[in-house]
Structure 1
Amino acid sequence: MRVKPSRPVAQALLVAGDVAVFLLFSVWGRASHGLSLGALEVLKTAFPFLAAWLVVGAALKAFRLEAFRTASGTVKRVTGIWLVAGVAGLVFRALLVGHAIIPSFAVVTLITVWVLMVVWRLVFWALVLRPVRR
Structure 2
Amino acid sequence: MAIHEQSHSATAIGRRTATLALGDVFALLIFAAIGRASHGEEAGLTALAQVAETAAPFIVGWLAVAPLIGAYRADVTGAPPRMLTRTALTWLVAWPIGLGLRALIRQTTIPLSFALVTFITVLTIMILWRGAFTLIAARRS
TM-score, length-scaled by structure 2: 0.84
CA RMSD, aligned part only?
1.7
TM-superposed CA distance for 1:84, in Å, is 0.5
Assess if the C-alpha contact under 8 Å between 1:70 and 1:130 holds in 2: no
Structure number, greater radius of gyration: 2
The answer for the alignment partner of 1:33 in structure 2 is 39
Mark the runs of 5 or more structure 1 residues left unpaired by the alignment. Answer: none
Q: TM-score, normalised by structure 1?
A: 0.88
Q: Which has the higher contact order (CA 8 A, sep 6+)?
A: 1
Q: Contact between 2:29 and 2:51, CA under 8 Å: does it hold in 1? A: yes
What SS does structure 1 have at the residue aligned with 2:72? coil
Q: In the comparison of the two structures, how many residue pairs are matched?
A: 128
Equivalent of 2:128 in 110, 113, 119: 119
Cα deviation, 1:27-52, whole Å, max 9, x if unaligned, reads 11101111122111101100000000
Q: Indicate the residue corresponding to 2:20 in structure 1.
A: 14
Query: Displacement, 1:130?
Result: 5.4
* d(CA) in 2 for partners of 1:71, 1:63: 13
* Secondary structure class of the residue paired with 1:36: coil
- The 5 Å alignment of 1:1-134 reads 6-37=12-43, 38-129=47-138
Runs of 4+ residues deviating >6 angstroms: none
Q: Is the 8 A contact 2:71 2:83 kept in 1?
A: no
How far did residue 131 of structure 1 move? 7.9
Q: Is the 8 A contact 1:52 1:88 kept in 2?
A: yes
Larger helix share, 1 or 2: 2
